[in-house]
Structure 1
Amino acid sequence: MDDGDEYVPVLIAGGSLVGLSASVFLGRLGIQHRVVERHAALSTHPRGRRNNMRTMELFRTAALEPEIRNAAGSLSHNRGILRVDTLHGEHREWLQTPISGRPPEADQCSTVRCDCSQSELEPVLLQGTRDLGGDVRFSTELVSFSQDSHGVDAVVRSADSGETRTVRADYLLAADGPRSPVRERLGIRQSGAGDLFHRVSITFRSRKLREVVGEERFILCYITDPSGEGLLQPVDNKEQWVFQLPWSPERGQTVEHLTDAQCAGHIRAAAGVRDLDVEITGKAPWRASERLADSYRDGRVFLIGDSAHEMPPTGAFGANTGIQDAHNLVWKIAAVLRGWAGHRLLDSYESERRPVAQATSAQAILRAPGEERSGYTARTSAGNSIFPMTVALGYRYVSAAVVGADAGAPTIPDRLLLSADPGTRAPHMWVTRNGAAVSTIDLYERSFVLFCGRPDWREAARTAAGRLNVPLDGYLIGSGAAYDLDTGGGPHWSTVHGTTPDGAVLVRPDGFVAWRTDSGPTGGAEELTGVLRRILGR
């Protein structure tokens, strides 16, 4: 039974990590939306946990960082990837050495990475979006949809009541996972190596395992002995653990036939302790795959997260890429809905994010030999493995929403050099604003930002913003109380941003450099107005 049409500007199909992140970002921008999730509640099964420094910058700007770090408290001191024959054995080798002290990204970012399991992160995001007025509906499935040039008509069904409703939305975001029904209904194909290997994620309790592991606080531990092969992950560093067990559904193996006794026996073999206490609490099959949607958009429907791309777990890039998809898209949708951007701006979502996913997935493949992951023989990748911080921070965009981007530069460079080149994430600087210390990264969310060292550039920004009715904050940046942003004794802003003291740098709401000039502001208002028109598709 259809109880009539409802309207919401943005409808999100899928209420897991990426869908909830999109909801938070929309809520921060004041855009009304609804999330529909077919499951009755969030998953409690521990899954991917590495939130890289770029993702944590986005959560910091969204005012969720303290809650996320609190949720991740039990793993806050875990570092590195270990490989052993058995946990009780003598062979121990660090594949990624634990880093102590100041993390390498500290000079480049407003914050640092955080290991927070998805099962702990999602409740923080859910509460965060609800605090912002987000409408998240569990046990609600997107049944079908159609679209026209003005919007999307989506039929949703409540699993509790069986009732259906038609929701009219300006845009539909598909965050409905790797087997995305939305992508399938659109007929969007995928390319890539496909399935690489399968695992069963087993959650279990064991108090004695802590004694076997010893004092080491790893993030991952590979066990190589054939009788106990797999991957161990701590959950609370005390008695809760996850073991990734190899399995082969192509040979007829099923999770239903994998008994608790078999799982416990495998874990005991991995530990090298026959009488280890093991209580199995859950099993969840998953696959490592490499797939990329041929298109990220069909009219007013957009793919984000796993519906757009799947990538292997090495490097922990997949979920981070999905969260950053959502962040890239949301400000553009908000700009169009608010009337200060044209619909052409939305074309830049695919042209910016799809190359990043493709390059990032290739890096995940290249990193596999370093962790001796099995199952990666489906494709041999050419190229060099790049430092993960460069993958996380160094990617660049080439699109109509960037003026002056180097179209010949690689999507991910070999080394990290953030110097405000158009299309790159703007550099981080600590500054003082209104007596408080902030990162320049903290300024990017609801408006464009223009950095300049001359008052007439700031005035040009005000003029251009008024002409176009575009949110644009012009900041005079330099050393001393006379500036809007005081750099104190730090490096000169123009050196950090690759321009001259007379120049200016325009940064988009997502923190990516939209345009840069070395010249002074003669005719600055007209030039800036023209640049904004190009970027915003007006």
Structure 2
Amino acid sequence: MAREISSLCPPHAEIGEIRWCTSLAAHPLGKIDLLDDQARLEKVATFSPYHIAHIGQHQLMPVLWRWIESESLITFVKGAGLISLNQDEGGATVGVKHAHSGTTAYRADWLIGADGANSSVREMLGVSMEGPVLAHMASVFFSADLDSVLAKPRPLLSWIYNPDFCGVLIKHFDDHYILMSPFITQEQEMVRLGASYWSRMIPKVIGADVPFQIRTQGNWSMATQLAQVFRKGRVMLVGDAAHRFPHTGGFGLNSGVQDAQNLAWKLAAVQESRATESLLDSYEAERKPVVALFAEQSVSNHFKLDEVTNHLNITNRGLMSATKAFETAPIKWLPSKLKGRFADALMKLAFSKTRQLTETSARAHELRSRIAQAVPGQLEHFLSTGLEFGYAYSGGLVIPERSMQPKVGAGVVDYQPTTWPGCRLPHALISRGGVEIPLLYVIDKRKFSLITHDDVGWAQALLCLPLPYVSELVLIVAVPSKAEDRAELVSLFEVGEHGAILVRPDGHVAWRTTLPGMNAVGDLEQVVRKLTVSYRRKIASAVVA
């Protein structure tokens, strides 16, 4: 599946440029090229067996659907919607309405609500979202051949500022684009007129009259919100159903996948009677702080854009204030048409200074210069490798250390690979049966993996461990695919030649030691007991006996 998704993505040379401009055809006011730093690119390539993917939802969803349909363990029901949800101590029952064939009731031990920002599952649970709405957005999805306007590679993102339109244009590989702009109230033209409004605006954004086809359009609210709880009884919330971020940072899909990955091994352990239901309590405890951090960064990125646009008297903070004002008396009492005209006039006034961007005066030159100088400061908005790879868990399934997590700077832009407990095990290539394979691929999906360079020492240590604890572990010997890479692998693991790393089924480090196996066997026994005694029935009874 990863290979199929990668085949639909543009070459990396085409996804590096972020541009600020008056139209796509115009000379940029400022830009960030994510491909400029070759040393950084080479380093990022060592963090994962896969490269970053930029793919439109219209391309991704058919791929995911095909893979789901081909999985024999999944019953994939299409063309249906949730109409009821009830749960008891034994499971959950959902009522589903089919588009053409009535309704069906489904019974399951557990229910995962992965149904998006407007989650019906969350609503039926009575779980509220906590946090503010930052802006209301309108968007249009369209296709156009722009070769005559701007040669490839075209910018990945173009922040457009002109007297008629302010917003962002997102490019996809297949000549499809998403254009987004904020609005203050539903009565404004861009909401009321829909396709006719966008048909007027798209040529102004492109900067030329070229044929285009509108595919879809819609309105949505940009918010930073977390669900009050991520689990209620037999129901868990994941992805946008559990948390909403601004699009400024690109954490939405990634965080949803992380939610599912954190939950999967725990749910499997419960279903296979290897753990009690209390293990599932760790899902929210681990994920909520991480997504709160992502939300904080997304909001910071959103408002940091003001450093560029405040020179135009356009700011996201001002937009948020105006939006709140229109939802508050006395403005909200205005007749709908008057309120819409008022909002359109207000935004037109706010955009007026953008006229100077195309002028030739000294004042206009100074304005363009200030914008250009502010653009490089936006880097962490578009490059957040440190957060993407460096997020860490804490709590009962991680044995903490007194040291601080190693980070590069603030830990946002650049990633420091580390085996610090709670972090994801860094990517490394090892030899497995004479074949080079990513280390994360051999992590056991049910038990804790004990990773070491010292196979003899730790094999002896495990012989001294009580049997119930040994049954929880899988020993993995990390042998580099090339002998000359051994020193680099030892350095990456941060536990020396004879230490070991204990890794959870989801690939996150639970504990580590620099001690040789026979010196650390007592510590390992205590660690396994602490990690498992709260939810493993077999271990708990063995300890009591």
Q: RMSD over aligned Cα, in angstroms?
A: 3.1
Contact 1:477 1:486 in 2 (8 A): no
For residues 88-167 of structure 1, the aligned pairs below 5 Å read 88-99=25-36, 102-133=41-72, 134-165=74-105, 167=106
Counterparts of 2:70 and 2:473, CA distance in 1:
27
Matched, 1:229 2:170: no
Identify, as 1 or 2, the structure richer in helix. Answer: 2
Contact 2:408 2:416 in 1 (8 A): no
- Report the CA distance shift for 1:216/1:347 in structure 2 as closer, same or farther (over 3 A): same
Aligned match of 1:327: 261
User: Which range moved further: 418-427 or 337-346?
Assistant: 337-346
Contact 1:221 1:233 in 2 (8 A): yes
Match of 2:518, SS? coil
Task: State the AA in 1 paired with 2:475.
Answer: G
Counterparts of 2:110 and 2:189, CA distance in 1:
39
Task: State the AA in 1 paired with 2:316.
Answer: G
Matched, 1:82 2:19: yes
Counterparts of 2:491 and 2:12, CA distance in 1:
38
Counterparts of 1:162 and 1:254, CA distance in 2:
39
What TM-score do you get using the length of structure 1 for normalisation? 0.77
Match of 1:354, SS? helix
CA distances 1:301-352 after superposition (whole Å, capped 9, x unpaired)? 1110011110111111111111111111111101111222232221111111
Contact 1:140 1:158 in 2 (8 A): yes
Contact 1:390 1:413 in 2 (8 A): no
Task: Tell me by how many angstroms 1:403 deviates.
Answer: 1.9
Contact 1:204 1:242 in 2 (8 A): yes
Aligned match of 1:375: 316
Contact 2:226 2:242 in 1 (8 A): yes
Counterparts of 1:191 and 1:93, CA distance in 2:
36
CA distances 1:161-180 after superposition (whole Å, capped 9, x unpaired)? 11232x22121111111122
Match of 1:135, SS? coil
CA distances 1:433-467 after superposition (whole Å, capped 9, x unpaired)? 11111121222362432112132413555887963
Aligned match of 1:183: 122
Task: Tell me by how many angstroms 1:153 deviates.
Answer: 2.4
CA distances 1:349-389 after superposition (whole Å, capped 9, x unpaired)? 1111000010111111112245458535659xxxx968600
- Report the CA distance shift for 1:289/1:105 in structure 2 as closer, same or farther (over 3 A): same
Counterparts of 2:189 and 2:28, CA distance in 1:
32
Counterparts of 2:93 and 2:466, CA distance in 1:
35
Contact 1:174 1:304 in 2 (8 A): yes
Give the paired residue count: 460
Contact 1:232 1:244 in 2 (8 A): yes
Alignment match of 1:247 (pick from 183, 202, 212): 183
- Report the CA distance shift for 1:398/1:123 in structure 2 as closer, same or farther (over 3 A): same
Match of 1:114, SS? coil
Contact 1:432 1:487 in 2 (8 A): no
Counterparts of 1:395 and 1:504, CA distance in 2:
21
Q: Any gaps of 5 or more consecutive residues in structure 2?
A: 310-314, 322-378, 537-545
Matched, 1:285 2:285: no
What TM-score do you get using the length of structure 2 for normalisation? 0.76
Aligned match of 1:420: 419
CA distances 1:490-521 after superposition (whole Å, capped 9, x unpaired)? 43544322213222111111110011122222
- Report the CA distance shift for 1:429/1:178 in structure 2 as closer, same or farther (over 3 A): same
- Report the CA distance shift for 1:409/1:490 in structure 2 as closer, same or farther (over 3 A): closer
Alignment match of 1:298 (pick from 209, 223, 232): 232
Counterparts of 2:225 and 2:127, CA distance in 1:
12
Alignment match of 1:390 (pick from 380, 386, 390): 386
Task: Tell me by how many angstroms 1:75 deviates.
Answer: 7.8
Aligned match of 1:269: 204
Task: Tell me by how many angstroms 1:284 deviates.
Answer: 2.2
Q: Any gaps of 5 or more consecutive residues in structure 1?
A: 1-63, 480-484
Counterparts of 1:376 and 1:312, CA distance in 2:
14
CA distances 1:93-125 after superposition (whole Å, capped 9, x unpaired)? 214544476454112223221111122122222
Counterparts of 2:63 and 2:464, CA distance in 1:
40
Task: State the AA in 1 paired with 2:476.
Answer: Y
Task: Tell me by how many angstroms 1:71 deviates.
Answer: 2.4
Match of 1:403, SS? coil
Counterparts of 2:262 and 2:472, CA distance in 1:
17
Contact 1:223 1:229 in 2 (8 A): yes
Matched, 1:504 2:500: yes
Aligned match of 1:443: 442
Matched, 1:518 2:514: yes
Task: State the AA in 1 paired with 2:385.
Answer: M
Task: Tell me by how many angstroms 1:235 deviates.
Answer: 2.8
Contact 1:395 1:413 in 2 (8 A): no
Alignment match of 1:312 (pick from 246, 256, 263): 246
CA distances 1:408-440 after superposition (whole Å, capped 9, x unpaired)? 869998233332111111122222211111121
Task: State the AA in 2 paired with 1:335.
Answer: A
Larger Rg: 2
Task: State the AA in 2 paired with 1:241.
Answer: Y
CA distances 1:43-90 after superposition (whole Å, capped 9, x unpaired)? xxxxxxxxxxxxxxxxxxxxx211111122478732221111122333
Match of 1:284, SS? strand
The percent of aligned pairs where both chains have the same amino acid is 28
Match of 1:185, SS? helix
Counterparts of 1:104 and 1:512, CA distance in 2:
21
Alignment match of 2:152 (pick from 187, 199, 215): 215
Counterparts of 1:162 and 1:100, CA distance in 2:
57
- Report the CA distance shift for 1:371/1:104 in structure 2 as closer, same or farther (over 3 A): farther
- Report the CA distance shift for 1:461/1:263 in structure 2 as closer, same or farther (over 3 A): farther
Aligned match of 1:458: 459
Contact 1:72 1:120 in 2 (8 A): no
For residues 165-204 of structure 1, the aligned pairs below 5 Å read 165=105, 167-193=106-132, 195-204=133-142
Identify, as 1 or 2, the structure richer in strand. Answer: 1
- Report the CA distance shift for 1:523/1:406 in structure 2 as closer, same or farther (over 3 A): closer
Aligned match of 1:65: 2
Contact 1:110 1:441 in 2 (8 A): no
Match of 2:131, SS? strand
Counterparts of 2:119 and 2:380, CA distance in 1:
30
Counterparts of 1:431 and 1:359, CA distance in 2:
32
Match of 1:491, SS? helix
Contact 2:469 2:525 in 1 (8 A): yes
